[in-house]
Amino acid sequence: MRLQRSPEPPPLARINVTPIIDVALVLVIILLVTAPMMSTSDLPVELPGAHARDLERPDFISVTVARDGRLAVDETAAAGIGDVPALVRGRLAAGRDRNRLVVVRADAALPHAVVRRLLEAAREGGARNLGLATAQIADGRP
């Protein structure tokens, strides 16, 4: 008796898109669920203090502004915010590492706009890594 071969089915020439659609729908659902959590409201809030860890590198540049508006870059006093870029540029040039951290230390009573201008001035001076100093909180009090 002779065995008959059944004809082979033709190869699949189409891509199965069902798994791709499943993944896309899951991503859309995740986006829809997380998007409302990412928005912020315009309600006035008092932000909590920060639990900061110690700086890993002690050779940072400090830009300090007091409540009365006096400025200093490390130990050098600055006449105004216009002097900050040149002083930061000089400190960065004096060091070996041009990617040194520049920390802005501002009094808590100062308006946010002053801190923003200091950050911009440090950036103009060539600072690439910027940070804001906060008071260390211990036992719930700064």
Q: Are strands 101-106 and 61-65 parallel, antiparallel or unpaired?
A: parallel
Q: What is the pTM of this model?
A: 0.56
* Distance between CA atoms of residues 126 and 129, nearest Å: 9
- Which of the residues in the chain have pLDDT under 50? 41, 43, 45, 55-56
Bridging pattern class, strands 76-78 and 71-73 = antiparallel
- Return the pLDDT at 26: 95
Delineate the domains of the chain, giving CATH numbers in brackets.
61-132 (3.30.420)
Sign of the CA dihedral running 18, 23, 28, 29: positive
For 29-57, what is each residue's pLDDT tens digit?
998 888 776 655 454 545 556 655 554 45
Question: What's the helix, strand, coil split of the chain in %, to 5?
Answer: 35, 15, 50
DSSP letter assigned to residue 141: B
- What distance in Å separates the CA atoms of residue 16 and residue 13, rounded to the nearest whole number? 10
